[in-house]
Amino acid sequence: MTYRKEIDSIIDQLSFNEKFNVNIDDYDNILIEGMGGSGIAGFLFSEIYSKKPVIVLNTYTCPDFVSEKTLFIAISYSGNTEETITCANEARKKGAKILSITSGGKLSEISDQTVIIPAGYQPRSSLGFLLMPIINTISPDLRNQMDEIKNNIAEIKKKEDNLISISKRIFESGKVPYFISWNPTSSVAYRCKTQFNENSKMLANAGYLSEINHNELVPMGMNHEMDPFIYIAFKNSFSKRNEKRLEITKKLSSRDFTIIELKGKSIFSQIMYGVYFGDVLSYHVALLRKVEARDVSIIERLKLELSS
């Protein structure tokens, strides 16, 4: 499978129908632990679902409150991520039920239940596999939105010229892309930042309205010549106040913002639209930069050094 096909496969991955056998009513809170391309599924889910407290963690350590009333979901594509295993072990000692999503590795050995997902992908291009078991288990009603989501994403593919022109703008700017969004699609900006890191091999930044209006607006209102960033905003339709803030931020900062409008009726739908848009965008920038989008061997080198 080409890497582009791997990226596109996220659309089909949304049909993945494995789930855990638990009753969510038995738990007071949900903790989702995972790093990088695995952990992003937790951030996404926390913006889609809030009927119970969802705490997203990407640390070695497990909070003190964890108990048998915590549903602990550990996500590690490889199944060998040391932070996730360390944290899950701690949670297990505190009595939490451990559910894991992985393609293999040691994680399943310390889990009460495991959903095994297909191997051979990059973790970041298996987001559908990583996310759907959580949705299928905790909020299966979201599956009703699947057709609409797939149709919206298909539109991006049909009009890829528009996306390619944005990728050229980013590439030709020679600047560091700064992705901005706001609740409940902040995870799209973060996802896009990490995809530019891994696929395009570029430094990138993510920021969230309205928080950045309370601090970052100050330098954005000055120092234009020193600004290393090119600004790209993912605009959702759920907060008129933040839409207005984006307009005022543009005006007061005199910066150009490329605005990508997130299509879809629901939060889940707009998030998946943004994720796919950003994934393909980072891929096109990789092509322009003539870098190998799939390759992240330096992360493997770090893991080797860590284990020595």
Binding site for a second copy (CB under 8 A): 28-29, 35-37, 39, 50-53, 55, 58-61, 63-65, 82-83, 174, 176, 182-184, 193-194, 197-198, 201-205, 208, 210-211, 213-223, 226-229, 239, 241-242, 244-245, 248-249, 251-252, 296, 298-299, 301-302, 305-306
Strand order in the sheet with 97-102: 54-57, 29-33, 70-75, 97-102, 113-116
**Cβ proximity to a second copy, 157 vs 168, nearer residue:** 168
Contact criterion met (CB below 8 Å) for 51 and 71 = no
Closest distance of CB 162 from a second copy, Å: 25
Helix (H, G, I), strand (E, B) or coil at 174: coil
Helix (H, G, I), strand (E, B) or coil at 13: helix
Q: What is the DSSP letter of 256?
A: -
Beta strand extents in 89-217 (DSSP E only) = 97-102, 113-116, 176-182, 205-209
Can 284 be counted among the known catalytic residues? no
- Count CB atoms within 10 A of the CB of residue 216: 16
**Cβ proximity to a second copy, 141 vs 147, nearer residue:** 141
Active-site position among 33, 47, 83, 198: 198
Can 225 be counted among the known catalytic residues? no
d(CA 77, CA 121): 9
Can 198 be counted among the known catalytic residues? yes
Closest distance of CB 77 from a second copy, Å: 11
The b-or-e profile of 84-105 (16+ CB within 10 A means b, else e) is bbebbebbbeeebbbbbbbbeb
Closest distance of CB 150 from a second copy, Å: 26
Q: Specify burial of residue 226 (Cβ count, 10 A radius: 0-12, 13-18, 19+).
A: exposed
**Cβ proximity to a second copy, 150 vs 205, nearer residue:** 205
Closest distance of CB 32 from a second copy, Å: 13
Closest distance of CB 289 from a second copy, Å: 9
**Could you tell me which of 56, 57, 106 has the C-alpha nearest to residue 85?**
106
The b-or-e profile of 154-165 (16+ CB within 10 A means b, else e) is eebeeeeeebbe
Closest distance of CB 152 from a second copy, Å: 23
- Residue 299's contacts (CB-CB under 8 Å, 6 or more residues apart) are none
Contact criterion met (CB below 8 Å) for 33 and 100 = no
Which residues belong to the active site?
A: 198, 214, 303
